[in-house]
Amino acid sequence: MTSRRIFDLPGKKREIEAIEQESLAPDFYGDRAHAQRQMRQMSRLRDEVTTWEGLATRLDDLDELAQMLADEPDERLSAEISQEVAVAEAELAKRRLTLLLNGEHDTKSAIISIHAGNGGTDAQDWTAIMQRMYMRWAESHGYKVELLDETEGEEAGIKSVTFSVDGPYGYGYLRGEAGAHRLIRLSPFDAAHRRQTSFAKVEVMPDIGDEPIEIIVRPDDIETDTYRSTGKGGQHLNKTDSAVRIRHIPTGIVVTCQNERSQIQNRETAMRVLKSRLYELEIEEREREAARLKGVHVEADFGNQIRTVTLHPYTMVKDHRTGAEQGDTASYLNGEIDHFIEAELTARAGQPI
């Protein structure tokens, strides 16, 4: 019963029916991109409805068993019911997070960029560690990860990396990770093994893909050049000028892509990333303007650190926005970051953490 109250099953079913009716129109597949978007939306809605209906049925069954148990006590049945209730409550808590993802583009896939900040080689190593962390999180949650671009560091690590996290709610879950992340540790690159503070900046953008969003990139507003790929990828990538760099002149945004085999594929991917970045920039401008009208001061960039990972003289991960903490840094760096994602989502929704 609880799941029916917090999830609008009738509303979702009406959405499904509306798309089904629309798909019966003779000209539905005339606009192929629109048809594909609608069919993906219907598939996602059906998955959600099936999940919540299953949870509702399970809760109703447990309620009936609990009533039977009240009339005829049975220790064995009581233990089984308690175990099932615990499992259902855990599932309900997990699904509750999805209800917090109600932003305009929260259901979309995400494009993640990580850039090394202050800290030299340590910062580049920190960037590589974070790439591995987010990719492991994504893969463990069933997302498809695709490396789009990577620039290696001179000695170790990477200077910057861009990859996609493809699947429902990828952007919704990860958008709170945007910002500066700090690492404090004994440097493995310092001969004296002194303590080093390093920074990496995370950008999270909705993958707008073929969505009908008005992001117009005029040919006169971009400069495009090609170069030889320097990353991993075999002889073809490294021996031809297949890598593409696009600079958006009005904003100064620069996007590179060298992971695909052909120059055409790299250009298409780079334009996809550019449009997502421009759209994210537009979102930021809207939020800043809304905050200004409300009299709230908002920094012009992501310069302020949002989270610190300390490996020396003690181990601790601390989020400076929510106050969430975790002493097990090893599991965190291995991709177990749900505690911090949940804390940020809950705080954003204005609910107790």
Residue 303 has pLDDT above 70, yes or no: no
**Among the listed ranges 194-203, 295-304, 315-324, which one has the minimum average pLDDT value?**
295-304
In this prediction, residue 318 has a pLDDT band, given cuts at 50, 70 and 90, of very high
Residue intervals in the chain for CATH 3.30.70.1660: 111-348
Task: Quote the pLDDT of residue 51.
Answer: 78
For the segment 248-264, the average pLDDT, to the nearest whole number, is: 87
Task: Quote the pLDDT of residue 228.
Answer: 76
Cα–Cα distance, 288 to 275 (Å, whole number):
20
Cα–Cα distance, 271 to 256 (Å, whole number):
9
Assigned architecture for domain 2-100: Up-down Bundle (1.20)
Q: In sequence order, which residues have a C-beta less than 8 Å from that of residue 216 and are 6 or more positions away?
A: none
CATH of domain 111-348: 3.30.70.1660
pTM above 0.85, yes or no: no
Percent of the chain with pLDDT over 90: 40
Residue showing tokens 């120059």? 263
Burial class (CB in 10 A: 0-12, 13-18, 19+), 5: exposed
Residue 1 has pLDDT above 50, yes or no: no
Residue 289 has pLDDT above 70, yes or no: no
Task: Quote the pLDDT of residue 339.
Answer: 94
Residue 266 has pLDDT above 60, yes or no: yes
Structure tokens at 316: 């601790």
pLDDT single digits (tens) 205-235: 998 865 656 677 888 899 999 887 765 554 4
